[in-house]
Amino acid sequence: MNNNLISLASKLKKFNSSFIKKKHRIVTDKTIHNSSFLFFTFFLREKSFFKSPYRNILINYFKKAEQYYPGSSYFVSVRLVELIFNDKIKESKITKVEKNIDVIFKYMESISNKKTFNFLKDVLYFSGADATISCFSSKNVELVVQKKCNPSFNIKLDESFSNVYFTNQNQTTKSFIVSIVDGFIERDTEIFSLFEICKKEKLPAILICRGISEDAKRNIKQIILKNKIYVYPYLLKFDNHDPFLLKDIAKSCKTSVVSSEYYDNIYKDLEEKTSICKLTISKNNITFHEKSEDLINEINSQLKNQNIDFEARQYLQKRKRRASPNNVLIEIPNNMNNLLQELKSLIVCYNFCVKQGIYIYSNNSLNSKQCHESSKILSEKLYINLQKIGYTIKLDYKNESRQKLY
């Protein structure tokens, strides 16, 4: 077993060395691509490991390393080699942890090609500190970066209506009549006025409420099938941790909540308290295409109050981020898939570095804290498991198989 591990370590050491010297490349459409995030990809393609009895377990650990931090499978491999050879770990002493943006940028520049790093750096300056960055492939000829503010609320469509509306699609975008009820719908007759509005305006409706009885659900489905009047019932139970969610949704679509708090009657007051909004909806989410300035101004006004406690201020800031999100979309041409993958990896690395920091070693080298810690733990666990692996030898003598376990 020691000989097998030594043989594995020798192959890995050679492979690690060739990777760090950038001898592995991907060639597509006359374009040569190399990246520090491709160690796992190159390992999967390396023929010298195809017949190795350890290949599958290495793949499992390298894959897990990539899930913890992009590109960290290389560090797991390097540390594993040192453990097998019983070498003294060649890592310099950690002097401090730094979260300074200049240090983070210096580290990120060292793990990516200059063009990709500069592009991401420009995007980060453009987007701001509180942005949510999304990258996806597109049919565009050129790179497109745009900022959008689309307030999004996590709210679930009633499960019994999922197959009615979202069998062949994940989401839909159109104008909806929106009605919000802070109460439970006992009978379908309570919302007949909503069906009348749908028929009059020739638009589908979204009904947000605390719950609906099974009889009402059954009757609503019959109305949908017979009259082709479409009502999407979204259920939102009261949450002590987010008590203003229903009101924030109402404010975002410029309507009022039908509520016993205002002595409303669902049947009588539903029609008056509706609005028409362009929305993108899915099973678990409703997204607005415009933000509500009134809601943002209301929250800002409350934040100016110096007497509110810490938890209340945190909740107000959460509501503000939800009501006025900073979304940055990066559309990358289909023929630039390598850039897309490297950019996604860099964004994940950036988020970890901002949260946890950068290790600065005594020799002034840099590494992400997340990368260092996760690769160290995984490599040690991998080494222990490799040592525990046994094997079976089968001897065939006079058509009889004898097994001996070591």
Residues comprising the chain, all counted? 406
Residue for token pair 């592995």: 24
3-class secondary-structure state, position 360: strand
**Which residues have C-beta within 8 Å of that of residue 47, sequence separation ≥ 6?**
none
CB 338 within 8 A of CB 100: no
Per-residue burial over 375-394, b = 16 or more CB atoms within 10 Å of its CB, e = otherwise: bbebbeebbeebeeeeeeee
pLDDT tens figures, 132-166: 899 989 988 899 999 989 999 999 999 999 988 99
Q: Rg of the chain's alpha carbons, rounded to an integer?
A: 29
Per-residue tokens: 386? 């490799």
pLDDT in tens, 178-197: 999 999 999 999 999 999 99
The H-assigned helical ranges of 39-113 are 39-45, 55-68, 73-84, 101-110
User: What average pLDDT score do residues 22-30 get?
Assistant: 78
> Domain ranges in the chain?
2-97+364-388, 100-149+327-354, 152-290
pLDDT band per the 50, 70, 90 thresholds, residue 400: low
Tokens 């040569």 locate to 32
Q: What is the mean pLDDT of residues 362-371?
A: 93
Structure tokens at 77: 């491999």
- Tokens 């733990």 sit on residue: 377
Q: Give 3-state DSSP helix, strand, coil % of the chain, rounded to 5.
A: 50, 25, 30
Element (H, E) at 157: strand 156-157
> What is the predicted pLDDT for the residue at 406?
44
The dihedral sign for the CA sequence 124, 128, 134, 137 = negative
What is the pTM for the complete model shown?
Answer: 0.76
Give the C-alpha separation, 63 to 58, whole Å: 8
Show the CA angle centred on residue 83, arms to residues 78 and 89, nearest 5°.
Answer: 70
Measured distance CA(161)–CA(217) in Å, rounded? 9
Q: Which residues pair with 310 in a beta bridge?
A: none
Distance CA 308, CA 80 (A): 53
Give the H/E segment covering residue 331: strand 327-333
**Six token digits for residue 191:** 């919302």
* Domain spanning 152-290, CATH class: alpha beta
* 292-312 confidence digits (pLDDT tens): 999 999 999 999 988 889 999
Judged against a pLDDT cut of 50, whether residue 256 lies above it is answered with yes
- Residue 98 contacts residue 358 (beta carbons within 8 Å): yes
Please give the Cα distance from 24 to 383 (Å, whole number).
26
Q: HSE, CB side, 13 Å, CA atoms: give it for residue 307.
A: 0
Is 90 exceeded by the pLDDT of residue 404? no
Place of tokens 């899930």: 67
Mean per-residue pLDDT of the chain: 90
Q: Which residue has the higher pLDDT, 297 or 264?
A: 297
- Reading phi first (left if > 0) and then psi (alpha if -120 to 50, else beta), residue 25 is in beta
User: Greatest CA span in the chain, whole angstroms?
Assistant: 93
In this predicted structure, what is the pLDDT of residue 151? 93
Helix (H, G, I), strand (E, B) or coil at 255: coil
Which DSSP category does 88 fall into? Answer: P
Residue with tokens 């940028």: 105
**H or E element: which one contains 246?**
helix 245-252
**All residues at 6 or more sequence positions from 374 whose CB lies less than 8 Å from its CB, including other chains:** 65, 68, 69, 72
Own/partner pairs, 397-402, CB within 8 angstroms, 24+ separation: none
84-134 confidence digits (pLDDT tens): 988 655 667 888 999 999 999 999 999 998 999 999 999 999 998 788 899
323-339 pLDDT per residue, tens: 999 989 999 998 888 88
Distance CA 306, CA 290 (A): 30
The Cα 378–Cα 285 span in angstroms is 37
